[in-house]
Structures are given as structure tokens and as C-alpha cells.
Structure 1
Amino acid sequence: MHNNAAHTTLIKNAHTVVAWDDTRQTHVYRHQADVAFAGGQIVHVGPDYVPAAGADCTVVDGSSMMAMPGLVDIHSHLIHEPINKGYTDETGSAGLYNSNLYEYMPTMEGDAEAAPAQLTLAAAELLMSGVTTVVDMSIIHEHWLDVLVQSGLRAYVAPMFRSARWYTRNGHVVEYDWNEKAGVEGMERALKLIDRAEAHECGRLRGMVVPAQIDTCSADLLRDSHAEARRRKIGWQTHAAQSLSEFHEITRRHGLTPVQWLHHLGVLDPDSVVGHGIFVDDHPNTHWSTATDLSILAETGASVAHCPTVFMRRGMALRDFGRYRRAGINLGIGTDTYPHNMIEEMRHVGYLARLMAQTPRATTTGQVFHAATAGGAKALGRTDIGRIAVGAKADLVLVDMTHHLMQPARDPIRSLVYAAADRAVHTVYIDGHRVVHEGEVHSLDYRDAAMKVNEAQQRALKLVPQRDRVAGRSAEQMSPLSFDTI
């Protein structure tokens, strides 16, 4: 690793460069092109880069590589989700429109010992799938910043806080345990951690203000947190329109849809992100009397974090990616859940959009890739990530074009998204530093972390009956295995 700002890295004669065309505000393919970066910034994109005489330059043969911008994951829960693997894959409350949030997810939670292992495992997965920037929406843990710094990720630390906890005692009614003082104190703790993150010497950490969910936060907490985000000039995000139960709860409380309620509170603007935004007023499952939610999102400039995988498991889907784009809404993509694999998430975005719209013309792979890069960057208020352009951050991914799953290579991004996925990711640079090489992360012991997450799940499985408020069921009753054990 070179720390000298004068050192240049040259990706020479890349097979393909997914470069940014600023005039058209879109990515374009450039073949047999060079990409050079120094001091954490891209300094050249195009043919025939010649280092200055006597310059300190590392040359990387790009002839068998596609260079693409690092992916931007705007909605993820790294400290919480890995432990759910094998447990929440097929669960959902029949009496709560198949949502998994209220009855099942609270029964599988990692302990404090598991948090750094979960974060390590998820961060490594992200890096090996080409993610260079992530918004990590998690509960505060003492090792959070340390692991993020060690990983090399460009990360937005987004500690969640809320005024109430949800629960269900019968599987068909969601109840809320309110403690508005705890919400205010949680925001204060979150802001202190954000201050630490933004002051960190690595320069890769930023903060985001995240009142956890629209239905668990008071109106004051939503407004005050947004005002604080604007005062600090940082982003703001909340989960909203993510379940039909939440949609009906907000309409019952306020006579407005979740999107309309956020708009009424004045918290939607170009620096705001709506996590999920699925159940809008004209979604066929809401049966609401208006059709204004998409226009509100477009007119306010708020972004939507689209995370299809976790909802596909419950039989739910945003309707649809192409329709939101045509309405003028900026979309970014988040992995949200396990696996933290951004390329597979892009695959699901494309397939689900076409399925929900019932046409292959619903969206293009280029539009999906835009959401995973420049769209995510826009949601974060940035033009220096999510693109390969002079002056942008040196956040780059090299994809092995000789990998058998990348062949045929007529359209490399399609081959990557629909066939090869992370298996063809060879090298990842963040801020000019190499963090993945030959498909491996060397800064994190993710294999050891995986074993520790497995051990943590074994501990958590024993606690499931205590955590199940409905009937004190065992883990096997809550989530039966794929096959009987004999």
C-alpha cells in the first residue's frame, strides 16, 4: 500500500472501462483505455497515459480486466443481518400481510459479542462484491468504527434511534411500547458517534441521521432529527412504506400515507432517503384513495433506497423500478440483508422490475447499474463517487474478463450482473488503496468471523422461546428446517 500522494497507479490498456460521460450524465463503455489515479483521486481516463519522467508509478495490466466504478450501497444493516441466515429466509406473519418484522425478526438477535463478527463478515461480503461505499444503519456498538476503518470501506455511520418498540402478542396486531425520552437520548448518542466518525483521521467515514422507522418515531423526533441533519449538512434516512401493517398504522394515526406524512412533517428533500418506499398510495395492495406519493417523492427530490431481496422473500415487491424512474424519482440500491452481495442485488432489481411491470422493457441493466453507482451517490449528495471520471475518488473495481462466467463478453455489465456476480470481482480500490486482490479481502478475517456468527446464532436459537411473545415457540417451530432431522 502506497501512502505517498505523489504515487500514481495506472490501470493500463483496460479491456473495458465503464467511464462517466459528464455531458450526458451517464456511464459509457470505453475499450482499450487507461485509468490513472494518485492521491486518492482519478487523474486520467482515456488512451495513452504517460507518467511523468521519473514518477513513482505502479502499472497494472488491464488487458484482461473491466474497470468499473465502485458500487454505492445506501441501505444496509451490517451489524444485525448475517445472524438471520437460515432462520428468517421463509418466515412471515400470515396475519400481518406476510411481513417478517414484528413476530419473527425480534426472536433472532445477536448479542454484543456477535456484533463485531457480524460487521466483519458483512463488510467483507460487500467488498468482494465491488462495494466501495456503504450506509450502515445499525445499533451503536463499541467496535463499530474500528471494524469499518480496518475494512477500508468508505462508510456512512448511521446509528438508528426510535421513540417506540414494536411487538405483536398474537401475530395479527402490532403494538407499540412508547418512550419518547429514550428516542431523544438515542438521537443524542447517535450524534456523538457521528461526530467521532466524521472526525476520524482515515477520512473515509461520514455520518447519517436515521430515526429508525416512521411508525416507531414521534412527529417531534422525525422533525428534530431532520433539522439536526440539515444543521450539520449530512444525510437523513428512515424506513417508510415498508409493510402494509405500517401503511395502515400511519393512515389510521394521521389519515395520510407514510410518504404523505413525511411530506407533511417537512422532512423530504434532496438530502433525504426513504428506505424501501414500496407501499405507496397507488400500489395495488394499499387500496388508498389518492395517487400522489410518487409525485411527492419526485417534487421534493427525496431518494428511495430500493432493496428487493429481503422483500422478495416475503412475496412483496416495489411496483416498479422503471415506473419510479419515469416519475422522476432518484433511486439508489441497498443490500439491506444477507447476503451482502450488491451485484446479486442488482440482478434482483432488474428481474423484479420486469416481473412487476410484466414487460422486459420495464428497465435496462444500464439504468440498474446507474442506481447502484451514480444514483446512490446522488442520494448521498455526492458527485465524486459512483463514477470513473477525472477528479472523482479512486474507488474502482477490476472485473476479470477471462472468468468463464464473464464470457461471452459482448456486454460486460450484463455478464457481470446476470451471470458472474462477485465471482469475477478481482481487485477493489478505495481512495486509491487496494482492499481486495484476486477476489480476497486481506484486511478482515472474515472466515473466523463467519464461525463466530454461527456460534452466536446457536446462542440466540436457545433464546427464541423467551423472545416469542405470541406462543413461546422454539426456533424449530418458528422456522422449520428444509428437511426433517432423523
Structure 2
Amino acid sequence: MTAEPSLSEGTSVTHVKQARTVVGWDKGTGCHVYMRDVDVAFSRDGILHVGPDYDGPATETIDGSRYLVMPGLVDIHSHPGEEPLNKGLWDEVGSPRLYNSSLYEYLTVLDRDDDSVRACYGVALSELLLSGVTTLCDLAVPSEGWLDIHAQSGLRVCVAPMFRSGRWLTRDGHRVEYEWNEAAGRLAFERALKEIDRAERHPSGRLTGMVAPAQIDTCSEGLLRDAYAEAERRSVPFQTHAAQSIVEFQEITRRHGLTPIGWLSKLGVLGPRTIVGHGIFLDHHPWTHWERTGDLERLAEAGATVAHCPTVFARRGISLNHLGRYRETGVNIGIGTDVYPHNMLDEMRLAIYAARLTAGNPRDARLADVFAAATVGGAKALGRDDIGRLSPGCKADIVLVDCKAPAMQPCRDPLRSLVFSASDRAVRHVYVDGRPVVRDGKVLTIDHAAAAARLAEAQLRAMATIPRNDWAGRTADELSPPALPWA
């Protein structure tokens, strides 16, 4: 039995007694394991006990006989301040002349005001909490009050204020152009570093920072190098979107004669703190028709992480090729939600199914692997060993799943019942730093219903701006016809 950490004076302790199943951590093998009929005790000081017969102090005792107790999930790539506004608009679109990507025609046509951003956060952060996420990486353009919004949600958040040297656009739906402004990019970089400083100083104690040049194709060589150097100096993670579209792959190979991963490697910005957002179009992907130059091996040797977000790409008929291959090569994988709905459990299920479809067999993507990616894989990407696992001394980021919920029945294997069947319907209680943020399936820190109502109003305002932002002046219904014709 591991020695229990000492308690701060006056600290309340939650004791889950004789849990039906606990996803514990085996330090010897470095893997999650099932444990039956054991106790879990935790407080704001962290996890105090995982094992049989806890006999220490307890402020609250929970009968664990109906619960699966598991570590909170770690979402390493998300855009919660903007993506919920797109719900119902871009589910079934993709630019046919831009390899079905949605980046260049669709994601630039909605104007967002301050209230729409706040509504997006309210909805997305609620969805994340309800699906068992306790740690989130928010890749965003900083907005007024965003740090306080994160702190008030109760989540543990690594903020990633993005910056870039230029922007992409299309004037005809089949060519992508770049407008450059290096001075503006440098100014945004300086502002991003100040936001990271503000996050690190935030009184909540749950906010950290990440250096995040937005996209490999919109950042100059100098900006990427300097951003990575700053991440190294600060000992914080570094993340950029790379290898996320065929257009980007072709642009980088045209500019440099190297794949996006090859270019990052040549720049010296691949390392253990590097997170590659998406990392789909590598030299082995059949769509690139590129010679094999060792992209997967470069990622593995560098110790870099790929942030795998299957939903946004599956909507366009695009898939990583394939999850098992990345893992076999030794690439660390983390899971991200990226887009609406911000449901980490659904994202995990799709990661498994998409990998099996791509590989052509059910053995290259097992639940144990994807659960590890969504917990300790994400924790490793953030340079942390105190989240993503249930072990004494780790942060008390804990999820209780109701094994007696109808969608969980029969419950021979609780994680399989959760991920493949029940999803967020079975998540009952969520704790971050030992504090309850979801109780009885309800978010305690956010008015979810009010945020959703504001989001619906915000989308109507944003849709009115689409014709003036679209290169062809199209309306929302022209860009995204309804699923069924109106009678």
C-alpha cells in the first residue's frame, strides 16, 4: 500500500467506499488496471488512497457499489470558444475543389461577437465536463475575460493563445492564398506570451500556458523557431496545427521540398514538448503520394505527440492512417475534441472505429490504447505525471460513472459499456482538484441551459453575416442546405 499524503488542516475528504470498479494505476507496468471493491479517498491536496480499507478521516462518504471510478480525461486539442457556433451548419460540407477540407471556405464566414464567444464557452465547457474531461487545452484567439471563464468552470486548463504571420483565404473556392503581415504576427506573439503569464499567475491555480503558433503554413520560419525557443525557455508545451490538410501538405512541399513533419524537424521544433495538431497527412498517407522519408519515425524519435481529433475529419471523409501504425512506431498519441459536440467519450469511440476501418481489422485500435491516449498520453504531452491516473499523490481529478445506469447494462466490462454504449449519459459525478464540478449529471459551475439559449441567438446573428464574408456571397442555406427539403 502506498503511503498516504498528509492533509492540510481543515481539508475536507471524500471517501468512495468499496467501489464496484476502479481504474487504478500499476506503477510497475505503467498501465491502467481494473481494481474491484476498493476505496478511493481524495481531497484538495490530491488523491490520498487507492486500495482496500481506507481508515482515515472523511467528510463525505459515497457508497461506491454502483460506480466505476476513473481518472479525469485530458483533452489536448480543442476550440471551445468558437466551435459550438458552427453546430448544424458545417456537419455535411467540405470544399470539393480543396480536397474536402472545411478550413478555407467555411470556418471564416461567421462573425463572432463577445457574447457569442462567451456562449460558446458555456456550452462547450459544460459538454466537456459532462463527458468526464477534467483537463483541457484551449487553442484560441484570446478574448475578454477568457481566463476567468475557464477558472469559473472548475476545469484544469492549459491556455494556448494562438498567433501567426499571415492568414489564408480563397477567392474562388479552388485556390488558397496567403496574406502576410509579419509585424502583426510578432505583436500577437508578444501578446500571447503575456496571456500565458496571466494564466500562470491566475489565483485559481488551475491555469497554465502553452506556446501555440497557429498553423505551420501561416507562420514564418523565424516565428516558428522563436516560438519553440520561448516554449523551451519557459518549460511549457508547444503546439501547432500541422499535416491537417492536403492543401497545407502541398503548400509546404512546394515551399520547402519537405513534408510538414520534415519541415518541423529541419527547423528544430520537434521535441518532447511538441504537440502536432492532427498530424494526418504524413508521407505514408495514401492521399499524399509522397516518397517515404520517415515522418512517423521522426515523430517517435523526437518524443513528440500527435493530437488526434477524429470527428472533425471524419465529417469530411478524412482519417488518420492509422492509429495502430502511429502507436507501433512509438508516437505518443493524445485525444482532442476540436469541434462540437465537445464529447470526449464519443471522440474516443470514433477514434477506435475509424482506426479499425482504416486498418481493415479490429486489433490495431483497442480501447485500452485509446483510454491511455485520453489520459496519460495527454498528460505526457503536457509534461505532467500528476494527472490522467489514479494514484496517491496525483491531482484529485476523478470521474464517477454509474454502472447501474440503463445504458451501462449489462456491465461486464465497465469501460467498454461506457465508451461503446453509454457515453456521457452514465457520467454522474466529476471532481477537479477534489472539488465537485458535476453532481448527479448536472454541471455545478455553469448555467448550461442559459448558455445554450444565448448560443442559439448568437448563431442567428452570425448567419446574417455569411454573405458578406463568403467569396461568392452565398447565404447559409446555399453553403449548407438543410438535411431535408422544406415542404
Change (3 A) 1:428 1:291: same
- Paired residues of 1:82 and 1:337 also in contact (CA < 8 A): yes
Letter paired with 2:457 = E
Q: Displacement, 1:405?
A: 1.1
Structure 2 counterpart of 1:307: 309
Q: Which residue of 2 aligns with 1:475?
A: 476
Counterpart of 2:22 in structure 1: which amino acid? V
For the residues of structure 2 that align with 1:364 and 1:482, how far apart are their CA atoms?
33
By how many angstroms is 1:89 displaced? 0.6
- TM-score, structure 1 as length reference: 0.98
Aligned to 1:50: 55
Matched with 1:129 is 131
Moved over 4 A (4+): 2-5
The percentage of aligned residue pairs carrying the same residue is 57
Pair 1:424 & 2:429 matched: no
From 369, 394, 400, give the equivalent of 2:371.
369
Answer yes or no: is 1:450 the counterpart of 2:455. no
User: What displacement does 1:409 show?
Assistant: 1.1
Q: How does 1:59-98 map to 2 (within 5 A)?
A: 59-98=61-100
In structure 1, what is the Cα distance between the partners aligned to 2:481 and 2:31? Answer: 46
Q: Return the alpha-carbon distance in structure 2 between the equivalents of residues 184 and 10 of structure 1.
A: 50
Instruction: Give the conservation status (yes or no) of the 8 Å contact 1:5–1:39.
Output: no
1:272-291 to structure 2, matched below 5 A, reads 272-291=274-293
CA distance in 2, matches of 1:308, 1:272: 20
Amino acid of the structure 2 residue aligned with 1:11:
V
Structure 2 gaps of 5+ residues are: 1-6
Structure 1 position 293 matched with structure 2 position 288:
no
Matches within 5 A, 1:262-273: 262-273=264-275
Could you tell me which residue of structure 1 aligns to residue 3 of structure 2? none
Cα distance in 1, alignment partners of residues 111 and 229 from structure 2: 31
* TM-aligned CA deviation for residue 5 of structure 1: 5.5
Gaps of 5+ in 1: none
CA contact (8 A) 2:15 2:58 kept: no
Amino acid at match of 2:322: D
Aligned mates of 2:475, 2:168 — CA distance in 1:
21
Structure 1 distance, partners of 2:82, 2:255, is: 29
* Aligned 8 A contact 2:114 2:144 in 1: no
CA contact (8 A) 2:8 2:45 kept: no
Matched position secondary structure for 2:362: coil
Determine the structure 1 residue equivalent to 2:412.
Answer: 410
Deviations along 1:285-342, one digit per CA (max 9) or x if unpaired, are: 0000224100000000000000000000000000011110000000000000000000
- SS of equivalent residue, structure 1 residue 141: coil
Give per-residue Cα distances to partners, 1:400-433, cap 9 Å, x unaligned: 0100111111111011000000000000000000
CA contact 1:83–1:109 (8 Å) conserved in 2: no
Secondary structure of the residue aligned to 1:201 is coil
- Distance in 2, Cα, partners of 1:38 & 1:30: 21
- Structure 1 match to 2:13: 8
**Aligned AA for 1:70?**
G
Residue in structure 2 matched with residue 118 of structure 1 by the alignment? 120
Could you say which residue in structure 1 is the equivalent of 2:203? 201
Q: TM-score, normalised by structure 2?
A: 0.97
Say if 1:139 and 1:159, in contact at 8 Å, map to a contact too.
yes
Could you say what the CA RMSD is over the residues aligned between the two structures, in angstroms?
1.2
CA distance in 1, matches of 2:205, 2:54: 28
Shift of 1:6: 3.0
1:478 aligned partner, one-letter code: L
Q: Report the equivalent of 1:399.
A: 401
Matched position secondary structure for 2:282: coil
Structure 2 residue aligned with 1:439: 441
Alignment partner, residue 234 of structure 2: 232
